[in-house]
Structure 1
Amino acid sequence: MLDCRLDEEHEELRRTVAKFARDVVAPAIAEHYENHTFPYELVREMGRLGLFGLPFPEEYGGMGGGYPALCVALEELARVDSSVAITLEAGVSLGAMPVFRFGTEEQRRRWLPRLCAGQALAAFGLTEPGGGSDAGATRTTARYDVTADEWVLDGTKCFITNAGTDITSLITVTAVTGTAPDGSKEISTILVPADTPGLTVGRPYSKVGWSASDTRELSFTGCRVPGANLLGQRGRGYAQFLSILDEGRIAIAALATGLAQGCVDESVRYASEREAFGRPIAANQAIAFKIADMQTRTHLARLAWRDAAGRMSRGEPFKQAAAIAKLYSSEAAVDNARQATQIHGGYGFMNEYPVARFWRDSKILEIGEGTSEIQRILIARSLGLPQPG
C-alpha cells in the first residue's frame, strides 16, 4: 500500500525549514526580488542549516538525509519564495550531484565539502542557444590536447542558474568530445572551475520571475582545464545528464508543490480577512470553491513527488513517476498562481503581495528541467506508445 507520509526525521526537517522560511526568508526576500539582488545572507544561513548537504554522505560534509530530504526542504522554501528554493535546487541536484554520482574520489573530496556547506555553489552547463529541449544538439566542444593533458573548451551555454555569483566555484559542462562508433556525437562532461581563463560569464538575465536568483549565459573560448577534470567515463555525458534530469524533476516537482501550497496559504489568509458587501469574501461559494480546488491540486502534486522520491530511494524504476510528478505539479502551480491572483483582485497585481511573486515565478516550472511537452513524451514512451518520426 502506498504511504506518502513523512517519517519522524523528515517531519522534523520540514518543521525546521518551514520556520526558517517564515522567520528568515519571508521578511528579507521581497527587497531582493524587487532589486534583482542575490540573497547571499540567506544562502549562508541555508548553508549553516546544512540544506546544501542534505542528500550527501557525511564523509563529504553532507547530512546523509538522501534525496527525499532535499525535496522536503525545497517544498517548504518554495512555499515562501522560489528564488531561494531554485538556488538550493540547482546548487544541489544539478550542481553538486553530478560530482557525487559520477566523480572520482579525488573530485568528490575536492569539491563536495564546500558545496555541502553552502560556502560555494556549482552550476550545470547543459542548455545551449538554439538547443532548447534537444539537449543532444550540443555544439560546445572539448578537444583533448594530448601534449598538455588538457581539455580545451569552446562554445556557449545559456539559462544557467548559479553561474555568476560571488561564490560560484564550479561549472559542470556537457561538450562534444568526438564521434561515437555509430557516427553520433560523443558527449562528455567536463568540470570547469569558475575562475578558469577562457570562461566568460555574461550579465544577469532580466527575467519575468525568479528575480532573486542568478541566471546567466556562459561562453568558453580556448578554455583549458586539466585532463583529470573529465567527469565520469568519456562519451557517457549524455547518459549522465539524462539521469541527473530524471532526479531533478522530482526536486522541481517538490518546489512546484511548495509554490502551489503558498498560493493556498495566501488565498486563505486574504479571503478570510478581506470583506466585501459586509462579509469576508471567503464566505462566497465562488471563492471557497476556488481555494478548495487549489488545495486539491496541491495535495495531489505532493503525493506525486513523494511517490517518485520513494521509488527512487528504494532503487525502483522512477522515470515515469518523476515525469508525472513534474508535469502535474508544475501545471498545478501555474493554475494555483492564476487563481490566487484572481482571488486577491487588484492587490494580486501588486508586488508587495507574495502572490504576485508566485504568479511571476510559476510559469518557468512548466519549462525548466524539461518542458511539459517533454514530460508528456516521456510518459507516452514509458507506456510503449509509438513515437513521432
Structure 2
Amino acid sequence: MRRSLFTEDHETFRAMIRDFIAKEVAPVCHEWERDGHPPRDFYRRLGELGVLGIQVPEEYGGAGETSFTYSLVIDEELAHAGATFGNAAVHTGLILPYLLKYGTEEQKKRWLPGFVTGDIMTAIAMTEPGTGSDLAGITTTAGLSEDGTHYVLNGAKTFISGGALADLVLVVCRTSPPDEQDRRAGLTILCVDAAAEGFAVGRKLEKIGLKSSDTVELSFTDVKVPVENLLGEEGRAFEYLTHNLAKERMTIASSSCAMAAGALEFTVDYVRERKVFGRPVASFQNTKFVLAECATEVEAAQIMVDRAVGLLDAGELTVADAAKVKLFTTETASRVIDKCLQLHGGYGYMMEYPIAQLYTAIRVARIYGGTSEVMKTIIAKSVGL
C-alpha cells in the first residue's frame, strides 16, 4: 500500500543514508560483530553526517527536527542492508528525550553539543543483577555529601547497552528508601561521567544476537557525582522513565518492522536464485504461500507503525498505544523472520547470511523495553481488565 509518511526531504535523506551504509558500514560490519562494537570514531562520523543531532534543537548544534520519521528512514535503510549503527539508536532514541525534557539549560549547553558530534556518547543504566522489569527493586544508592556538593554513588548494573563506549551514563539509583505506599518512590537519575573515579566497566556480555551493539556490566564504588549532574528532581525517576516509554517502545517497534521487511526482501531474492530438484525454490507453491503470508503481515505491521509515528509526532501516542504497536510488531517480526529462515534451508542457519543475523537479533525485541507479557498487561488494563 502507498505510504504517505515521507516527503522529498525524507527521500533525499534516505539516499544519503543508503549511500553511507553501502560505502562505510556494510563492508566492515563483520568486524564490528567480531569486536563487539564499532570503533569509537564511527560515532563521530555519524556526528559529522548529522545523524546524531537530527532531533537536537538548533541552538545546541542539531537540526531541530521533531519528527520521528527520520529515525524510521534510518531503521529501514539499515535493515535493507543488513547493517547496524551500533548503539546509536540508544543514544538518540532513548537518552536524548530525557536530556531534552528534564535537563537544565546549563546541562543542555554542557552536554548536547558533544552529543551531536559524537564526542559524548551516552547510555542509560536501569537494570540490576537482581532486578529486571521491577524497577522498584533497584538497590544502587546515592547519598548526598555533608557539604551538599555531590552524591556518593554505589551499586552495580547489568545489560547496559552502549556502556562500553559511553562517556556519560544516566544512572537510575535510590536516593531515599521506598515509601510504604509506593515502592517506586525515592528513585533518581544521576548523569555520571564515565571518567569518574570508582566508575568501572565490567564484563562485556556475550549475546546470541546484536553482537555489534555492546552490552556490559557497570559498577560504582563511592563515585562522586556533582549535584549539577542531577537530572530533573530527586525521587521522580520512575515518573520520568514512564514518560519516555512510549518513544522507547516505538524505537523498538520501528526497528522490528524494518527487520521483518528486510528479511522478506532477502528471502525473495534468495528463493529466486536457489534451486532445489532442478527448480527455483520460488517456483514451489509452498514458497509462494509462505511469502504471501509474510508480505501481508509485514504490511500490517508497517501500517501500524506509520500510524503510531503520526500519533507520536503529535504527542498523542499513549502508553497503551505504544504497548500495542510494540507487541504486534515484535511478535510479527519474529514469526516472519522465522518463516524466512526456514525457506533458506541449511544456509539460513549460517551467520554469513543476513537472515541468520536477523533471526538472532529479533529475539530480544520481545524482551527489552518491556516484555511481551508486560505489554499484554498494559493493554489489558487499558480495556478495563
TM normalised by structure 2 equals 0.93
Q: Which residue of 2 aligns with 1:203?
A: 203
* Letter matched to residue 230 of structure 2: L
Deviation at 1:37, TM superposition (A): 4.3
Q: Kindly report the root-mean-square deviation, in angstroms, between the aligned alpha carbons of the 2 structures.
A: 2.0
Do 2:256 and 2:365's aligned partners in 1 also have CA atoms closer than 8 Å?
A: yes
Q: Which moved more, 1:190-199 or 1:171-180?
A: 171-180
Deviation at 1:140, TM superposition (A): 1.0
Q: Which residue of 2 aligns with 1:70?
A: 71
Give the whole-Å Cα distance in 2 for the aligned partners of 1:15 and 1:254.
19
5+ residue gaps in structure 2?
A: none
Do 1:127 and 1:135's aligned partners in 2 also have CA atoms closer than 8 Å?
A: yes
Q: Which moved more, 1:216-225 or 1:87-96?
A: 87-96
Give the whole-Å Cα distance in 2 for the aligned partners of 1:22 and 1:256.
21
Q: Which residue of 2 aligns with 1:194?
A: 194
Q: How does 1:37-116 map to 2 (within 5 A)?
A: 37-40=37-40, 42-66=42-66, 67-81=68-82, 83-84=84-85, 87-116=87-116
- Kindly provide the CA deviation profile for residues 281-315 of structure 1, in whole angstroms up to 9, marking residues without a partner as x: 11111112222222222222222222222112112
Q: Which residue of 2 aligns with 1:379?
A: 379
- Kindly provide the CA deviation profile for residues 137-167 of structure 1, in whole angstroms up to 9, marking residues without a partner as x: 21111111131511111111110111112xx
The answer to whether the aligner puts 1:12 opposite 2:12 as a matched pair is yes
SS in 2 for 1:351: coil
Identity in percent: 35
Deviation at 1:41, TM superposition (A): 5.4
SS in 2 for 1:12: helix
Deviation at 1:180, TM superposition (A): 6.1
Deviation at 1:234, TM superposition (A): 1.5
Q: Which residue of 1 aligns with 2:174?
A: 176
- Kindly provide the CA deviation profile for residues 207-260 of structure 1, in whole angstroms up to 9, marking residues without a partner as x: 111111111011111111111111012211111111222211101111111111
Give the whole-Å Cα distance in 1 for the aligned partners of 2:39 and 2:13.
22
SS in 1 for 2:221: strand
Aligned residues: 381
Give the whole-Å Cα distance in 1 for the aligned partners of 2:263 and 2:8.
26
Q: Which residue of 2 aligns with 1:130?
A: 130
Q: Which residue of 2 aligns with 1:251?
A: 251
Deviation at 1:177, TM superposition (A): 1.0
Give the whole-Å Cα distance in 2 for the aligned partners of 1:39 and 1:347.
30
* Letter matched to residue 175 of structure 1: C
Q: Which moved more, 1:2-11 or 1:347-356?
A: 2-11
Do 2:54 and 2:62's aligned partners in 1 also have CA atoms closer than 8 Å?
A: yes
Give the whole-Å Cα distance in 1 for the aligned partners of 2:76 and 2:259.
7
Q: Which residue of 2 aligns with 1:239?
A: 239
Do 2:245 and 2:319's aligned partners in 1 also have CA atoms closer than 8 Å?
A: no
Deviation at 1:82, TM superposition (A): 6.1
Deviation at 1:55, TM superposition (A): 1.6
Give the whole-Å Cα distance in 2 for the aligned partners of 1:15 and 1:323.
31
* Letter matched to residue 104 of structure 1: T
Give the whole-Å Cα distance in 1 for the aligned partners of 2:332 and 2:182.
42
Do 1:250 and 1:326's aligned partners in 2 also have CA atoms closer than 8 Å?
A: yes
* Letter matched to residue 172 of structure 1: L
SS in 2 for 1:6: coil
Give the whole-Å Cα distance in 2 for the aligned partners of 1:28 and 1:238.
39
- Kindly provide the CA deviation profile for residues 322-346 of structure 1, in whole angstroms up to 9, marking residues without a partner as x: 1111111111221122112111111
5+ residue gaps in structure 1?
A: none
The answer to whether the aligner puts 1:33 opposite 2:33 as a matched pair is yes
SS in 1 for 2:153: strand
SS in 1 for 2:170: strand
Do 1:75 and 1:256's aligned partners in 2 also have CA atoms closer than 8 Å?
A: no
Q: Which residue of 2 aligns with 1:362?
A: 362
TM normalised by structure 1 equals 0.92
Give the whole-Å Cα distance in 2 for the aligned partners of 1:152 and 1:40.
29
SS in 1 for 2:210: coil
Deviation at 1:321, TM superposition (A): 2.0
SS in 2 for 1:51: coil
Deviation at 1:39, TM superposition (A): 4.2
Give the whole-Å Cα distance in 2 for the aligned partners of 1:294 and 1:41.
38
- Kindly provide the CA deviation profile for residues 65-124 of structure 1, in whole angstroms up to 9, marking residues without a partner as x: 22332233223223434642x612111122333111210011011111111122331001
Deviation at 1:16, TM superposition (A): 2.7
